[in-house]
Structure 1
Amino acid sequence: MKKKVLVTGASGYLGGRLCYSLLKQGHSVRAFVRPTSDLSSLPPPSNGGALDLAYGDVTDYRSLLDACSGCQVIFHAAALVEPWLPDPSRFVSVNVGGLKNVLQAYKETGTIEKIIYTSSFFALGSTDGHVADESQIHPAKSFCTEYEKSKAIADKIALEAASEGVPIVPVYPGVIYGPGKVTVGNVLARLIIERFNGRLPGYIGYGSDKFSFSHVDDVVDGHIAAMNKGRLGERYLLTGENASFMHVFDIAAIITETKKPSFGIPLLVIEAYGWLSVLFSRITGKLPLISPPTVYVLGHQWAYSCEKAKVELDYNPRSLKEGLAEVLPWLKSLGLIKY
């Protein structure tokens, strides 16, 4: 059944690919973007009217409400995903305030049948020593980043809304990677670029860190499956293979037939580099690739099981080896890495 769909965060790394996929499946898509957004990852608005642009901001309720008009489904993918910002209050206004505005717009619009809310594995908290599933609730005692804190707060709001009958389905991607925008959100691509350009000569961490890596196209498929089959109020982890960054660099070396790093960079050294990057960032205004909060994240494990999504949504994540075999030639074709 074809739907009229609103995608918030449509100009982002995930949002743009979600719009393409929804259009391909015949849905009518309204892309909610800021007036300043780079629209290069979006399909061009078509004369047939399948894609239309709505300008505004999730923190501006009036513009969001206008964008919801006539829509049946909202994919709320808008988020601030930087690991560090000079003004941390922005995380709350966008990631928490944005969701509150979406929930309010749902009540006022009256046509919305389902909200697919893009949360994050961070909202469940770290998994030191075990593999977590959807039953894990963030203990909220400490947070590595302001982003993690804002997503944990928003998750609580989403679950409360679900318990009150709001037709919301929260989905939790892992570390999203794959072709597309090389943004802060595409952290794996950025680390690979640093690695192959010699600016990251060793391993990050010692192989004990664990992250769940999700290919962007698998996450997109998971979102659309959540719209079609997801049970209201149920959480779904759209994660993938659990691996360390050491493992990622090893696979990259095998695929490219290049030398593996021969040493690990101690986290204390990376943290010191992070503090210098933050200092430099305050002077230049350019956000750092690595900041101390990133290092705090690396000190934990973030390993999750996506069995529930596999069973209920037919979610089928590809292996890290398969995903990297696509990403590395893509980065090479852009001239961002050489091998």
Structure 2
Amino acid sequence: MKVLVTGASGYLGGRLCHALLRHGHVVRAFVRRSSDISCLPPVGGGDDGALELAYGDVTEYRAVLAACDGCQVVFHVAALVEPWLADPSRFLSVNVGGLKNVLQAVKETKTVEKLIYTSSFFALGSTDGYVADESQIHPEKFFCTEYERSKVVADKIALQAAVEGSPIVVVYPGVIYGPGKVTAGNIVARMLIERFNGRLPGYVGYGNDKCSFSHVDDVVEGQMAAMNKGRLGERYLLTGENASFKLVFDLAAVITGTKKPWFNIPMWVIDVYGWASVLFARITGNLPLISPPAVQVLRHQWAYSCEKAKVELGYNPRSLKEGLAEVLAWLKTLGSIHY
């Protein structure tokens, strides 16, 4: 099939393009002209599949429409994945406006049979004290980040589109980690780099946080399974093991044979550091690793069950220990960490 992937130059989108090509599909990668496409294979044919580029931005409807032309499947992966931006309106223009453009383009393009929209666990809301499934709808009582708010708005649009007959399947990854680009979407790799280079000497908080960790290649397999097996209008959590970042650091120490952190950094200290980082970011233009919205995320739990995806899609996430062993070896090979 001919498959369109928006956000193809990103951390997740790039891995998805490689996997689709290995399965023999013709992949049209939708990227901005300013995008770093070094994560993508060479353009042209090959033994497995063929890659072609389509240039534009998801906020430009005509570009999205042209990219959809002749495609049977669309993977909408493009998103702004940052806990903080100096201009928060960009979250709505990209994460909400981009989805609206894709939905309209799919409707206008008669060849598209299925749209797989990659949302986020944030769209379902926090799960303080329990484990949620796909039936959860965000209560919209509070939002830790503007990114979370934008994904909730987009989720409502996606679900309404399904009711109106759009051939959409929505997937919700957890905290994505694994080898690949070290971007804001790969927060685990970034924190491990800080940890092993001595810039994050202790645990962040006291281990009360909980996230559902998803290896990037497991998410890719889940996305492709949603293309092949996903029922139209359904939601699927592509999450994994529910754990705290304290456990991530402990597992990393066991895997590498290094010492575990011996103290906890209180959240109020992280919060102060976050505000200082934001001030520095406004001066330099460089996005901070930690910001007050990110601290708010760590004050809550985000634990989910992927049982539905296991049953209906054959989704089979690896353990956090197995995934971290791969990430740590990869970071060591890059020279980003030493142990």
How far 1:205 sits from its partner (Å)? 1.7
Q: Which AA in structure 1 matches 2:256?
A: T
Distance 1:136 1:206 in 2: 27
Alpha-carbon distance in 2 for matches of 1:205, 1:247: 12
Which residue of the partner structure matches residue 177 of structure 2?
A: 177
The 3-state SS of whatever aligns with 1:54 is strand
Q: Displacement of 1:50 after TM fit?
A: 1.1
> Where does residue 333 of structure 1 map in the other structure?
333
Q: Work out whether 1:198 is the aligned partner of 2:198.
A: yes
Q: Which residue in 1 is equivalent to 2:315?
A: 315
Q: Which amino acid aligns with 2:116?
A: I
C-alpha deviation, 1:207, in angstroms: 1.2
Q: Deviations over 1:273-295 (max 9, x none)?
A: 00000000000000000000000
Give per-residue Cα distances to partners, 1:217-272, cap 9 Å, x unaligned: 00000000000000000000000000000000000000000000011100100010
**How far apart are 1:185 and its partner, in Å?**
0.6
How far off its partner does 1:109 sit?
Answer: 1.0
Find runs of 4+ consecutive structure 1 residues off by over 3 angstroms.
Answer: none
Partner letter of residue 17 of structure 2?
C
2:35 to 34, 37, 53: 37
Say whether 1:26 aligns with 2:24. Answer: yes
5 Å-filtered alignment, 1:240-251, equals: 240-251=240-251
TM-score by length of 2: 0.99
Q: How does 1:62-141 map to 2 (within 5 A)?
A: 62-141=62-141
Q: CA deviation at 1:300?
A: 0.1
The equivalent residue for 2:296 is 296
- Whether 2:165 is the aligned partner of 1:165: answer yes
Secondary structure of 1:128 counterpart? coil
What is the aligned partner in structure 2 of residue 12 from structure 1? 10
Flag structure 2 segments of 5+ consecutive residues without an equivalent. Answer: none
CA distance in 2, matches of 1:46, 1:241: 38
Q: 2:45 and 2:229 mapped to 1: Cα distance? A: 31
Which amino acid letter does the alignment assign opposite residue 31 of structure 1? A
Where structure 1 has 5 or more consecutive residues not aligned to the other structure, the ranges are none
State the alpha-carbon separation in 2 of the partners of residues 318 and 263 from structure 1.
29
Deviations 1:190-234 (A, max 9, x none): 000000000001001211110000000000000000000000000
Q: Take 1:186 and 1:225, find their aligned partners in 2: how far apart are those partners?
A: 22
Among all aligned residue pairs of Structure 1 and Structure 2, give the percentage whose two residues are the same amino acid.
Answer: 79
Q: Secondary structure at the match of 2:117?
A: strand
Partner of residue 235, structure 2: 235
| CA root-mean-square deviation | 0.7
1: distance between equivalents of 2:278 and 2:142? 21
2:198 maps to a residue whose letter is G
Shift of the alpha carbon at 1:47? 4.0
TM-score by length of 1: 0.99
Q: In the comparison of the two structures, how many residue pairs are matched?
A: 337
Letter in 2 for 1:338: H
Give, in angstroms, the shift of residue 141 of structure 1. 1.4
SS at match of 1:211: strand
Q: What letter matches 2:67 in structure 1?
A: A
Separation of aligned partners in 1, 2:204 and 2:147: 21
